[in-house]
Chain A
């Protein structure tokens, strides 16, 4: 893939007009500005996680005199991050798959078919994005204690899949809407049924939308803390976000260990993001044609 991209870059003939040069410089200023701006937090985080707390208090922007690699081993062993990462991985994967499957089915029904109440249903779903979820601790706790899933990771999987539904449906429907109905009508003439069109036609077409919604959903699952803390109590079932907060107590916070834990915690999500997004590239054709 990367080779192919390179070939395209090579074949593209750059014409040295003043306008093109200025545009090119502008483009690269933007690209570099955003790269520096968005990399800044990560770089700061990594540097700070290698300092001592005393150094951090003295100056948050200084470099560590001696890199404190043990902050990472401390974070990993003290907070038992290994188990927590594994729990988060299973929660996030199941929560994401469940979410995307349910959301794409519902989006298909709403996006492609006219039936009474569909816009009302969709508006209701969308309004769900507005719900301040942290105000629902009592009802959510009640639901899960009634179905007997307190202190069970399945409660988090179901909850995360559900609370992410409005956003996922919103995104996926947006992608489905972008395809004109005519494509499907052609398939109907070819004798393709409801399920066939969904699985063989629409899903592959909106793959990039599914991946996008899935990426966001994964990160939502990965970063959720309030309900992970509320609905589980056994040490074995703690998730990574609880691990990050292992170093913040009522009156004291061990900042450097916390930052080390945060650095560890973001590695899996960056990996997932990169892997997911790699799948989207295949469809990207805009760069293939340059003017």
Chain B
């Protein structure tokens, strides 16, 4: 009797354990789901149905746009209270964010609003029919005119708009004037030959002339390569494709740059490169405007005030004065069945591209946007100067990663390492990239 009852208890507990973990789900599902996120059920008892939009957003946390962008979303929710509600899902780790978006898209559950950095991805998502067609939205001239000339045309895919260009990366070359003067360089280089002269002088004073890296996505070196490509091939170099000899010539320039950089450049990530420039260990640097705020707060005293900025350099007397300018965040919307939801998404897009809001966002974050603002409205003088220089530039050109398929950008760091280690020639470097493009 005693034994069998024990046996029974054991048996029951086993069954309960194995069944219970699934049975348990149903009840706890309701209690644990964040109900505030579930706009539709919440409003069922209310008067009008509020439309809730999901927005996994990367401009949160320590991102420089976080504060003002977050306020923008709150303001939108207040203005459209009872009608629309945008729910931000904080996404900080960018790789994980991209994985999530990709998974959601391939399972057919694209978020209502999300950002994409690569135009190639937008083409892919659009091809698969996961994105909302925004063509009519941009036909409205009140919307279309907000944007910088040409940027919308560049975003069109077969004449249709599947994304809204939003954040722009405008990238100057930055010089530490103090170090330059100490090395006897009084004028900013205008050509690569002048840059090499300056580098030789800088090297003599014991600093690293240039800031190069191959870690992560080799960001700063990729930007240098973009400037070299612009100088060798001119404004329409990307249209000519990777077969153009300019890419090989630019690879030779990039290879030479590594003779003037720190010993840890191979494998260096952004931390290392920033560390060198912020601490006056390196003299010439390239990065987007968003870094200015950090140079001010994390750089050594006086660094920010001794920054000098310029556009691209010329090669053999040609193609000088280019400026790297590319969209680096597009806002996309998942395809909707419900026209009311489409309206909600468009209302949000309209809201966050209003000029005064963009000015505030620009001034608070150091970032620049595809919405045109007057450079006089930019309070930060360096940032305003970059906008002005870019507007006056001989030509603007996308950075290499923005112009290439994702796989090419991914292949760039290891190909660069092989190039710098002299395991491959500049010609083979470009061939490696071509192979990745296939």
Which chain A positions have C-beta within 8 A of B278?
54, 57-58
Give the residues from 148 to 179 in chain A that come closer than 8 angstroms, CB to CB, to chain B: 148-149, 151-154, 158, 161
B63–A249 CB distance below 8 A: yes
Which chain B positions have C-beta within 8 A of A134?
99
Which chain B positions have C-beta within 8 A of A226?
96, 99
A196–B6 CB distance below 8 A: yes
Q: Does B103 touch A at the CB level, under 8 Å?
A: yes
Q: What is the bound-complex CA distance between A102 and B21, given in angstroms?
A: 11
Q: What is the bound-complex CA distance between A152 and B10, given in angstroms?
A: 30
B32–A154 CB distance below 8 A: yes
A154–B29 CB distance below 8 A: yes
A137–B103 CB distance below 8 A: yes
A-B contact count (CB 8 A): 146
A199–B21 CB distance below 8 A: no
Which chain A positions have C-beta within 8 A of B109?
145
Contact count band on A: 35 or more
Contact count band on B: 35 or more
Q: What is the bound-complex CA distance between A154 and B275, given in angstroms?
A: 43
A234 touching B33 in the complex, CB below 8 Å, given contacts A141-B103, A229-B100: yes
Rounded to whole Å, the gap between the CB of A253 and the closest CB of chain B is 7
A interface footprint on B287-304 (CB within 8 Å = 1, 0 otherwise): 010110010011110000
Q: Of A142, A238, A250, A257, which contacts B58 at CB under 8 A?
A: A250
Binds A, one of B87-95, B186-194, B207-215, B259-267: B87-95
Q: Does A255 touch B at the CB level, under 8 Å?
A: yes
Rounded to whole Å, the gap between the CB of A41 and the closest CB of chain B is 17
Rounded to whole Å, the gap between the CB of A282 and the closest CB of chain B is 25
B interface footprint on A37-69 (CB within 8 Å = 1, 0 otherwise): 000000000000000111001100000000000
Give the residues from 246 to 297 in chain B that come closer than 8 angstroms, CB to CB, to chain A: 270-271, 274-275, 278-279, 288, 290-291, 294, 297
Rounded to whole Å, the gap between the CB of A80 and the closest CB of chain B is 10
A235–B90 CB distance below 8 A: yes
A252–B94 CB distance below 8 A: no
A147 touching B25 in the complex, CB below 8 Å, given contacts A141-B107, A193-B7: yes
Rounded to whole Å, the gap between the CB of A52 and the closest CB of chain B is 8
Binds A, one of B11-19, B225-233, B410-418, B420-428: B11-19
Q: Does A195 touch B at the CB level, under 8 Å?
A: yes
Which residue in chain A gives the minimum CB-CB distance to B29?
A152
A138 touching B106 in the complex, CB below 8 Å, given contacts A154-B25, A249-B61: yes
Q: Does B401 touch A at the CB level, under 8 Å?
A: no
Q: Of A58, A102, A161, A245, which contacts B96 at CB under 8 A?
A: A245
Q: Of A101, A145, A191, A198, which contacts B17 at CB under 8 A?
A: A101
Q: What is the interface of chain B, defined by CB distance below 8 A to chain A?
A: 3, 6-7, 10-11, 14, 17-18, 21, 24-25, 28-29, 32-34, 36-37, 54, 56, 58, 60-64, 66, 89-94, 96-97, 99-100, 102-104, 106-107, 109, 117, 270-271, 274-275, 278-279, 288, 290-291, 294, 297-300
Closest 5 A/B residue pairs (Cβ):
A234-B34, A195-B10, A249-B63, A57-B275, A254-B62
Task: List, sorted by A's number, 24 A–B pairs whose CB atoms are closer than 8 Å.
Answer: A52-B298, A58-B275, A101-B17, A137-B103, A145-B109, A152-B32, A154-B24, A154-B25, A158-B21, A191-B3, A193-B3, A226-B99, A229-B100, A230-B100, A234-B33, A234-B89, A246-B61, A247-B61, A248-B62, A250-B94, A251-B270, A251-B288, A252-B294, A254-B62
